[in-house]
Copies of this chain bind each other. A is one copy, B any other.
Amino acid sequence: MISRFKRFLIGRPMKSAELEGEKLSKLKALAVLSSDALSSVAYGTEQILLVLMAAGFAAVWYSIPISIAVLGLLLILILSYRQTIFAYPKGGGAYIVAKHNLGLSTGLLAGGSLLVDYILTVAVSSSAGTDAITSAFPSLHDHRVLIALIMILFLTVMNLRGIGESASILAIPVYLFVIAIFILIISGVIKILTVGVHAHVPEIGTAVSNISLFLLLKAFSSGCSALTGVEAVSNAIPNFKKPSERNAARTLIMMGTILGAMFIGISLLAYWYGIKPDPKETVVSQIADATFGRGILYYIIQGITALILFLAANTAYSAFPLLAYMLAKDKFMPHAFMVRGDRLGFSNGIIFLGVFSALLVVLFHGDTENLIPLYAVGVFIPFTLSQLGMMIRWLKLKPSGWVMGFIVNSIGMLTTLIITLIFIFTKFNQIWMVFIFLPIVILGFYKIKQHYENTANELRVNIKLDKPVAKGSTIVVPVAGVTRVVMQSLSYAMSLTDNVVAVYVGFDDEGIAHMEKKWEEWNPGVRLIILRSSYRSIIRPLVRFIETVEWKNAETDHITVLIPQFITKHWWQNILHNQSSLLLRAYLFNQKDVVIATVPYHLHR
């Protein structure tokens, strides 16, 4: 039943050989991998304006130079990551690059912050997508968290079905989003050219009395949230069709160009319209409203924006499980993250991501403004480390033309380092959690590695000396009466050894006498040992019995406890049986060195 439901939800299982067919063409890759970056347009400008408004409406003109600075940063990042793609064609995530060039600890720092960040990507994108919806339908404002959670659930299920299929679904909305935003920008520009700029917009260059460098830096770092997601391409090179590096590099540049154009366009429109950020309506919603009015075009733009934001979360669904797989392969995360599911995705990684991002949405009440700083700082730490790693790599390998490459990465590293520092300096009260959480994650990595290594050492056999040896064996069969179940269990035990002991736990003299008499009549060829319990517990006397040795043939005997378990025909019948067996098994197994053999008894009715 459950298995059939899973089939319906997830689809039929796929062979490992089908993996190649799941690889991405450039255009598909643009859709799957850039939705995170492109969708940042939906909140990037708003984050800048939110900060500037602290100095009054007169300060909003600063959004234009700040947006241009963010654009410059985007250029640097794209050039820098382009180099990473060619240097690490097997997937140069920050974890790989940092581990390779800067040592393990730095790699783990990068890996840890990326893992945390992918979770935040899902939380931020689903919350921002919800904002787009509730801007259009204010009555839904109170159901924000629920809407975001439904979207996370939907994404999780879609990803358990496999990347290939989701890419086909994803391609359309990403293209639609790009088209929609360009239509919005062009229509907005035409409208402004014909109707004119908003009367009260402060001119660029207006003196603002209470603006400070701190505020400007804060606004700039807020604007950098528009750049989250650009690293996705370089992490996912093996998912590209061959030649994968070249295709990945082109996809990266396409993405950068589109992102830059959309971001500066939205910033300019916001400035010309004189838009103020509003907790109940996003900036993009206000621009669309001002351009088209609340007509059909407005709702299409809001709908597509919501869609792309929800799908942006999907970038994390491709990246997180892959990174978790790499960490698990290096034994820093549980083996479970290495298992590909029926549909070739890393199911455990996908489920883990879904659960934790849902948790974040609930904890932050789906509040984008507080999630984004965490998200951005989590991105810029691995940005910096990854480029520092590339710098070291140029210095070590010194291939032809290395100086240019080194300079590009150095500029990139310094810029992202400065932005990280600006984050810490201007937004410490919003991001301090990261600096508590990251060390815990990294400590966890080391603990897991150590445990796996200890285990491997413990389990290693000397292939010459260590051989399995047969020993004596005794089987204990707890019985509650004379039934077919007992008969079946005894048959099974007698097939394996002659040392079979039946044990009955009695609570009163009457019951014990009755059992003794019945056993004698039946005479199954197995001796019955009676234990008396004054605590109504059958577990305690049994454990004590197993601890005593008198009844065993040799102290070194293997001891097996046979526990019958009913396999019922209908699921609800299960609650009518097996409670004691479950308890007994759980207790004995964890406490004692005995083998528990569960003997199924299939009930027919």
Contact = CB atoms under 8 A, between A and B. Distances in A.
Interface of A: 13-17, 334-336, 339-340, 342, 448, 451-452, 454-455, 458-461, 463, 466-473, 482-488, 490-492, 494-497, 507, 518, 521-526, 534-537, 558, 560, 565-567, 573, 575-577, 579-580, 589-590, 593-600, 602-605
A355 to B, nearest CB: 13
Contact of A334 (B460, B575, B595): B575
Interface of A is mostly: mixed
The 8 closest A-B pairs by CB, nearest first: A468-B490, A459-B483, A597-B597, A470-B494, A468-B491, A454-B605, A496-B496, A473-B495
Nearest to A598: B596
A597 B484 contact: no
5 contacts: A451-B573, A461-B482, A461-B487, A472-B495, A596-B597
Contacts of A461: 482-484, 486-487, 522
B603 A599 contact: no
Contacts of A598: 589, 595-598
A603 B451 CA distance: 10
A1 to B, nearest CB: 11
A17 B534 contact: yes
Q: Which of A461, A518, A596 has the most CB of B within 10 A?
A: A461
A487 B473 contact: no
Given A472-B495, A576-B334, A576-B448, A485 B459 contact: yes
Given A461-B484, A576-B335, A594 B603 contact: no
A525 B507 CA distance: 47
A604 B458 contact: yes
A579 to B, nearest CB: 5
Nearest to A557: B495
A593 B495 CA distance: 16
Contacts of A593: 600, 602
A576 B487 contact: no
Contact of A342 (B524, B537, B566, B577): B537
A525 B491 contact: no
A495 B471 contact: yes
A569 to B, nearest CB: 9
A131 to B, nearest CB: 26
A335 B579 CA distance: 9
Contact of A537 (B13, B486, B579, B602): B13
Given A16-B535, A452-B576, 8 more contacts: A13-B535, A335-B576, A448-B576, A451-B573, A461-B522, A473-B492, A560-B597, A567-B589
Nearest to A348: B579
A558 B468 contact: no
Given A495-B473, A521-B463, A536 B16 contact: yes
Contact of A458 (B468, B536, B576, B605): B605
Contact of A468 (B487, B534, B567): B487
B495 A603 contact: no
Contacts of A485: 459
B534 A16 contact: yes
A524 B468 contact: yes
A466 B488 CA distance: 10
A567 to B, nearest CB: 6
A150 B473 CA distance: 51
Given A340-B536, A567-B590, A598-B596, A471 B484 contact: no
A342 B535 contact: yes
Nearest to A448: B576
A491 B470 CA distance: 5
Contacts of A336: 575, 579
